[in-house]
Amino acid sequence: MSAPEKHRRFRVLETEPYNGEAPVDLLLERSETPTELFYVRNHAPVPEVDAGAFRLEVGGLVRRPLSLSLEELHRELPVVEVPATLQCAGNRRDELVRVRPVPGEAPWGAGVVSHARWRGVPLAAVLEAAEVTEGAAQVAFAGLDQVEKGGERIPFGGSIPLARALAGDGAPPVLLAWEMNGEPLPPEHGYPLRVVVPGYIGARSVKWLRSVRVQDAPSDNYYQARSYKLFPPHVGPEDADWSRGLMLGELSLTSVIGAPRDGEEVPRGIVAVRGYAMAGGERTVERVEVSADGGQSWTVAAHEPAPPGVWTFWRAELDLPAGDQEIVCRAWDSAANTQPERVEPLWNFKGYMNNAWHRVRVQSG
Amino acid sequence: MSAPEKHRRFRVLETEPYNGEAPVDLLLERSETPTELFYVRNHAPVPEVDAGAFRLEVGGLVRRPLSLSLEELHRELPVVEVPATLQCAGNRRDELVRVRPVPGEAPWGAGVVSHARWRGVPLAAVLEAAEVTEGAAQVAFAGLDQVEKGGERIPFGGSIPLARALAGDGAPPVLLAWEMNGEPLPPEHGYPLRVVVPGYIGARSVKWLRSVRVQDAPSDNYYQARSYKLFPPHVGPEDADWSRGLMLGELSLTSVIGAPRDGEEVPRGIVAVRGYAMAGGERTVERVEVSADGGQSWTVAAHEPAPPGVWTFWRAELDLPAGDQEIVCRAWDSAANTQPERVEPLWNFKGYMNNAWHRVRVQSG
């Protein structure tokens, strides 16, 4: 497959598999991320899928296993469009790397987050048609991609709680989607069908979806059982007990300053500070604050209320004295969670879920 | 009414209305809090209720308004028992007070949290019987107590999202309860009927319940519209715009060291550190860590997994050098949230939701 067509400022971290993110200042130009800026996190080459021959297999703890063509999915189930922001668990890893190296993991910046309108069918409707049986607890997904792991080829996969898959009022639906922003999914985003789990780490939104399996336990796929787990700072790859890592699922709360940029020179006086914020699960961002004195005093940013699973853009004005200044931001979510202050105590050897106060240094003159 | 019978070490902050909490070391003796240790947060004198004449009124956006005696509640609806930990939004206010005074609010310690088995009927079953209609978004509760506010007498009240009231799989049910720990509710805990909202601030678990009202907006009761809102550190009572405060609902994540106690002398060497941790909403506590070097290094505590809405007790051992030592703890929840490091940036003039790393100083010798 040829490389995806991306913006000239798109930062390609790796070409095979293809991985990249946009600079945050470009992401802030539109709430709906254009595909040329949408982050890409792949673990294997993009599979070439014959959409005509494609069938989605639905099995496990169900009374009626299903095998559905794309046309049957479109025709036999309710089609909905849902706005959802995806965010990688590795977003803002670069700040962790500056504390201590995170070997073997891509040094993602703060642009591994993007937003789209997704069109597809609710996973809940698929599960209803398949008739979930007693003992069901998790819904596992597997992709058509083939990742090389220890001499074997495995699909990328993962699972979410059944309760999340079925969640009704209040929670944005989990989708099996074939369109983003009104266009068919591009190959690198999962053509012809992918999962979209609003409020969860991007890894659970499995691309090139081939199977949905209802089961009594989380997926034993490498990317659920080994990867995407959070360990304390003192644990390394050599002594990690994988059964004890925190299995990631819902996103934690984060906020990021996109403008001014780190290292930028700004005129002395009133400076407009802009950025994004994102809450996890079914929580919403309730407040964003910025500080130019290390958190001694805070200015509340203006932000548009956004539903769960959707980022919000915010804007504040700070009156900066001359000299080298550090601007920080933090958000609060609807569960009154706020962000941790320092990156250091969040370090973990996989480099996940850094949501410390975001900091940029500017030269005010 | 006579004062409740409490443990001799129960700390009474106020007698009229009655308010008090137990020392944390006593709370840690049993996962199910004995009533003599269970915290009490009242805003008015305890009402004397004639259980025989009592009727619960269910109205608002429903097709079939209900008026139910206690006997009808028991007989006509499914009775369930649910373990749930209640926690006041003012828990750990004393640490905020040490940063800056919080005038007019009781200086609660870290014992405004307690656990019980609650028996009653699911609110969802009551709402199903009443047949909620279109446009419903919130479920509002009002009590039989009479609080003096600005020359008027108002009931204590508040509301929760309808989606939370109806939540099925995965979320512990919201209850209308008449028993705690196998005994009828004592007067100070809401006899004859109270709400229990697992995972939410205690204020939403309205006591002496007299009415349930389904509506399109949050309760306009003083305790939802004015009190129990979170403001930034620079806002005071004189300039608070009440329409802009963060309306509290789900609890944030917290953890507390109960032993050793602050100021305690401990033998040099291995010290057992014990405490509780509690996640909010439908999240669970996934890890608790302690540090004796200000968060440079962490020891993972042992803890029993607990369902959403239920606290967990944890225990770790630290090898302390001689001298004056500070021990801190922090928890992580299932959404990979962790606690903020310092109390100072959390200060707010109502003194709510302090969930900074908990700290005790001990003399190791």
For residue B234, give the nearest of A286, A297, A345 by CB distance: A297
- Work out the pLDDT band at A168, boundaries 50, 70, 90: confident
Tell me, what's the pLDDT at B171? 87
Q: In B, which residues are within 8 Å of A349 by CB distance?
A: none
In the predicted model, what is the mean pLDDT of residues A3-29? Answer: 95
Work out the minimum CA distance from A2 to partner chain B, whole angstroms: 36
User: What's residue B167's pLDDT?
Assistant: 85
Task: Say if residue B258 is in the same domain as residue B243.
Answer: no
Q: How far is CA A189 from the centre of its chain?
A: 13
- pLDDT for res A171: 87
* Mean pLDDT, chain A, integer: 96
Listed in sequence order, the residues at least 6 apart from A128 whose beta carbon sits closer than 8 Å to its beta carbon are none
**pLDDT band at residue A4, thresholds of 50, 70 and 90?**
confident
Residue A323 CA to residue A306 CA, distance in Å, equals: 36
What pLDDT sits at residue B1? 55
ipTM confidence score: 0.95
Q: B161 to chain A nearest CA, in Å?
A: 9
On whether both B287 and B190 belong to a single domain, the answer is: no
Distance to chain B for A295, nearest Cα, Å: 6
Q: Distances in Å between the alpha carbon of B290 and those of B175, B333, B359?
A: 35, 15, 10
Would you say residue A108 lies in a domain? yes
List the one residue out of A74, A177, A123, A98 whose CA is nearest residue A347. A98
Residue B156 within any structural domain of the chain = yes
Nearest to A353 among B230, B252, B336 (CB): B336
Dihedral of the alpha carbons of B193, B197, B198, B200, in degrees to the nearest 10 = -140
Task: Let me know if residue A159 belongs to a domain.
Answer: yes
Is residue A6 domain-resident? no
Answer with the one of B194, B213, B247 that is the final residue of a domain: B247
Answer yes or no: do B58 and B191 share one domain. Answer: yes
- A-chain residues near B352 (CB < 8 A): 336
Chain A residue numbers touching B246 (CB-CB < 8 A):
286-287, 332, 334, 336
Q: Is residue A164 a part of any domain in this protein?
A: yes
Quote the pTM value.
0.96
- Given this model, what pLDDT does residue A1 score? 56
- Domain-terminating residue out of B225, B247, B269: B247
Q: How many structural domains are present in chain A?
A: 2
- A134 in any annotated domain: yes
- For residue range A173-219, what is the model confidence (pLDDT) as tens digits? 999 999 999 999 999 999 999 999 999 999 999 999 999 999 999 99
C-alpha distances (whole Å) from B164 to each of A170, B137, B171, B204 are: 8, 10, 8, 12
Average pLDDT over residues A118-144: 97
In terms of domains, do B286 and B159 share one? no
- Which residues of chain B lie closer than 8 angstroms to A295, CB-CB? 344-345
| Same domain membership, residue B70 and residue B190 | yes
pLDDT (tens place) for every residue of chain B, 365 residues total: 568 899 999 999 999 999 999 999 999 999 999 999 999 999 999 999 999 999 999 999 999 999 999 999 999 999 999 999 999 999 999 999 999 999 999 999 999 999 999 999 999 999 999 999 999 999 999 999 999 998 999 999 999 999 999 987 778 999 999 999 999 999 999 999 999 999 999 999 999 999 999 999 999 999 999 999 999 999 999 999 999 999 999 999 999 999 999 999 999 999 999 999 999 999 999 999 999 999 999 999 999 999 999 999 999 999 999 999 999 999 999 999 999 999 999 999 999 999 999 999 999 98
Among B166, B230, B332, beta carbon nearest to A336: B230
CB contact under 8 A, A335 and B164: no
Task: Indicate the pLDDT class of residue A96, thresholds 50, 70 and 90.
Answer: very high
Digit-coded pLDDT (tens) for A297-353? 999 999 999 999 999 999 999 999 999 999 999 999 999 999 999 999 999 999 999
Verify that B191 and B328 share a domain, yes or no. no
User: Taking chain A, what is the end-to-end CA distance rounded to the nearest angstrom?
Assistant: 49
Together in a domain, B150 and B228: yes
Give residue-wise pLDDT tens across range A40-59.
999 999 999 999 999 999 99
Which residues in chain B are closer than 8 Å to A353, comparing Cβ atoms? 336
A285 to chain B: closest CA residue: B246
Same domain membership, residue A182 and residue A306? no
Does A354 score more than 80 pLDDT? yes
For residues B320 and B269, what is the distance between their CA atoms, to the nearest angstrom?
A: 5
Q: Which tokens go with A274?
A: 């802009």
Asked which of A227, A247, A267 is the last residue of a domain, the reply is: A247
Domain that holds residue B301: 254-364
